[in-house]
């Protein structure tokens, strides 16, 4: 259980209408109701399910003005918004690159203490499956999408070095309700463990860190010792979340189908 005194009191979640955004908003609205945090602000381009006492702002996030408005008065930002799959530069640049850059500038301007960034395993997806990589593995993106996440990680590193804003980059694997593919045995993260990782990012002491968003996955090609060092203690294992049928595809690269797909014409 995390120490409430160390918990940021005002938190912005971007992408709050999405899968992980809703899971995170539920967990933090429980803390709001319990009086453990003071202000929860949710933002998304799509309608956000209403929660009593929670501020919800429906807006595209890609301009400097919007980013500055959203960050005002916040102690922490959990940045989950963006396109979560491969796309054209026309789509990815505003949603994944401009939004992230402007949010970090807004965090500096408004004295936000930390930004938790939903990076992705696809930032390192071109590593082969027989190689174990840890938080120190340089980006090796498997797609334009993965490259936008590598950009976000490097942005976090730059700002952590030159400004007071701490950066916590989560290379999320496969954070779903169930395990539906053989690959997920290595990459799965349960929603409950995702929240444990978020709590680690919100409370641990660091300047810039890269961690993997995985559960307790025996034999994973990602060594997540850095997350554990910071206090992350996953409680779930993929074997307890198996669905039927399971996609049995074996992949050569850690990014799975993203890595195998040819680079489409933009």
Ligand X SMILES: NC(=O)c1ccc[n+]([C@@H]2O[C@H](COP(=O)([O-])OP(=O)(O)OC[C@H]3O[C@@H](n4cnc5c(N)ncnc54)[C@H](O)[C@@H]3O)[C@@H](O)[C@H]2O)c1
Least distance from ligand X to the Cβ atom of residue 5, Å: 29
| Binding residues for ligand X restricted to 127-146, rule: CB under 6 A | none
Least Cα distance to 167 among 202, 111, 194, 207 occurs for 207
CA angle 31, 37, 39 (to 5 degrees): 110
Least distance from ligand X to the Cβ atom of residue 207, Å: 22
**The residue count for the chain:** 266
- Whichever of 84 and 238 has its CB closer to ligand X, that residue is 84
Q: What would the two tokens of residue 28 be?
A: 């933090």
3-state secondary structure of 76: strand
Q: Does position 26 bind ligand X by CB under 6 A? A: no
Q: Does position 98 bind ligand X by CB under 6 A? A: no
Choosing from 8, 21, 87, 238, the residue that interacts with ligand X (CB under 6 A) is 21
16, 57, 75, 132 from 45: Cα distances, Å: 9, 8, 22, 37
Q: Does position 167 bind ligand X by CB under 6 A? A: no
Site mask, ligand X, residues 212-241, x = CB under 6 A? ------------------------------
- Whichever of 17 and 202 has its CB closer to ligand X, that residue is 17
Residue nearest to ligand X (CB): 18
First to last CA, the chain: 46
Give the active site residues.
Answer: 145
Whether the Cβ atoms of residue 186 and residue 132 lie closer than 8 Å to each other: no
Q: Does position 84 bind ligand X by CB under 6 A? A: yes
Choosing from 11, 12, 13, 17, the residue that interacts with ligand X (CB under 6 A) is 17
Site mask, ligand X, residues 33-72, x = CB under 6 A? -----------xxx-------------xxx----------
Neighbours of 136 (CB within 10 A): 8
Least distance from ligand X to the Cβ atom of residue 96, Å: 7
Least Cα distance to 117 among 147, 76, 86, 72 occurs for 76
Stretch that binds ligand X, among 10-18, 33-41, 70-78, 105-113 (CB under 6 A): 10-18
Q: What would the two tokens of residue 15 be?
A: 């992408």
54, 75, 99, 105, 183 from 108: Cα distances, Å: 24, 11, 14, 5, 38
Choosing from 11, 13, 20, 97, the residue that interacts with ligand X (CB under 6 A) is 20
Whether the Cβ atoms of residue 3 and residue 23 lie closer than 8 Å to each other: no
Q: Does position 82 bind ligand X by CB under 6 A? A: yes
d(CA 79, CA 57): 14
Least distance from ligand X to the Cβ atom of residue 6, Å: 24
Choosing from 120, 200, 215, 254, the residue that interacts with ligand X (CB under 6 A) is 120
Q: Does position 175 bind ligand X by CB under 6 A? A: yes
* Footprint on this chain of ligand X (rule: CB under 6 A): 15, 17-21, 44-46, 60-62, 80-84, 95, 99, 118, 120-121, 172, 174-175
């Amino acid at each position: 259980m995390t120490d409430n005194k160390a918990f940021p009191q005002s938190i912005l979640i971007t992408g709050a209408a999405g899968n992980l955004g809703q899971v995170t908003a539920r967990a933090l609205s429980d803390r709001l109701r319990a009086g453990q945090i003071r202000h929860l602000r949710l933002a998304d381009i799509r309608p956000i399910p209403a929660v009593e006492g929670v501020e919800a702002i429906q807006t595209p996030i890609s301009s400097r003005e919007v980013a500055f408005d959203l960050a005002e008065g916040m102690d922490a930002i959990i940045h989950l918004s963006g396109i979560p799959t491969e796309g054209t530069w026309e789509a990815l640049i505003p949603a994944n690159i401009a939004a992230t850059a402007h949010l970090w500038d807004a965090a500096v301007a408004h004295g936000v203490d930390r930004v938790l960034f939903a990076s992705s395993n696809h930032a390192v997806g071109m590593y082969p499956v027989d190689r174990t990589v840890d938080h120190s593995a340089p980006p090796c993106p498997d797609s334009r999408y993965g490259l936008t996440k590598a950009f976000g990680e490097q942005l976090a590193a730059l700002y952590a070095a030159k400004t007071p804003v701490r950066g916590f980059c989560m290379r999320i694997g496969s954070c779903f309700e169930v395990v539906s593919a053989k690959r997920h045995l290595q990459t799965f993260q349960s929603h409950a463990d995702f929240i444990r990782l978020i709590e680690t990012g919100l409370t641990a002491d660091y300047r810039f860190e890269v961690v993997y968003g995985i559960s307790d996955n025996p034999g994973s090609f990602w060594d997540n010792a850095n997350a554990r060092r910071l206090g992350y203690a996953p409680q779930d294992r993929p074997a307890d979340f198996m669905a039927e049928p399971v996609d049995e595809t074996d992949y050569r690269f850690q990014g799975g189908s993203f890595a195998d797909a040819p680079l489409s014409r933009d």
